[in-house]
Amino acid sequence: MDCEKIGLTIKTLRKEKGMTQLQLADRLNVSDKAVSKWERGVGCPDISLLPELASLLGAELESLLNGEIRSRSTVAGNMKKLKFYACPRCGNILTSEGDAAIYCCGKKLAPLAAQKDKEQLTMERMENDWFISGPHPVEKDHYIAFVGILTGDGLMMRRLYPEWDIQARLPWCAHGRLIWYCVQHGLFYRDF
């Protein structure tokens, strides 16, 4: 552990929260001298204090320990750069517009790497919708978990389950990106 980096991070986050060293110390039941030592890099907080310290400062424990709290600039204008995450344990599907640390079931998830058009799902216009279907297996351990359409300013997604055929209706749009996630083979896309 780099006590200087951790101390600088604590100081930066404390000031962003508008707290004094004494206020932070009181909430952690330590002395303000202890907080001062941490911020000067003379020592590090006791391991038992780290979860509460991270919570008080609004930081992730891992980022606090690495001393790497970065400000996130807003990703402007293109939802097609959306990142998808899938939890292999519970099946949750999560998204992020930019870099993020995403956790589910106690495990940090990596963003899914999208592959171009392997499954050959079909898109047919039906009234004011796209009807999406395909010949993918529908088994307990091998199925498409979701299909969606990404446009420059939005995402419309339908969750699918192993008991269901691959059929979904999504609002029609002229241009976008069809996306789908196979639990065995990963994330796929096709621009239209």
Q: What is the pLDDT of residue 101?
A: 87
Q: What is the pLDDT of residue 78?
A: 63
Q: What is the pLDDT of residue 118?
A: 67
Q: Edge-to-edge strands of the sheet including 177-182?
A: 115-116, 186-191, 177-182, 144-151, 154-159
pTM as predicted: 0.63
Domains and CATH numbers, the chain: 3-66 (1.10.260.40), 79-191 (2.60.40.730)
Please answer whether residues 3 and 43 qualify as being in contact, where contact means their C-beta atoms are separated by less than 8 angstroms. yes
Amino acid of residue 30: V
Residues listed for the chain: 192
The whole-angstrom separation of Cα 35 and Cα 28 is 10
The owner of tokens 């039906």 is: 126
Residue stretches of the chain with pLDDT short of 70: 70-78, 118-119
Q: What is the pLDDT of residue 67?
A: 80
| Cβ neighbours around 35 below 10 Å, total | 25
Q: What is the pLDDT of residue 65?
A: 85
Q: What is the pLDDT of residue 119?
A: 62
Q: What is the pLDDT of residue 140?
A: 87
Neighbouring residues of 76: CB distance < 8 A, sequence distance ≥ 6: none
Q: What is the pLDDT of residue 75?
A: 47
* 24 exposure class (CB count in 10 Å sphere: 0-12, 13-18, 19+): buried
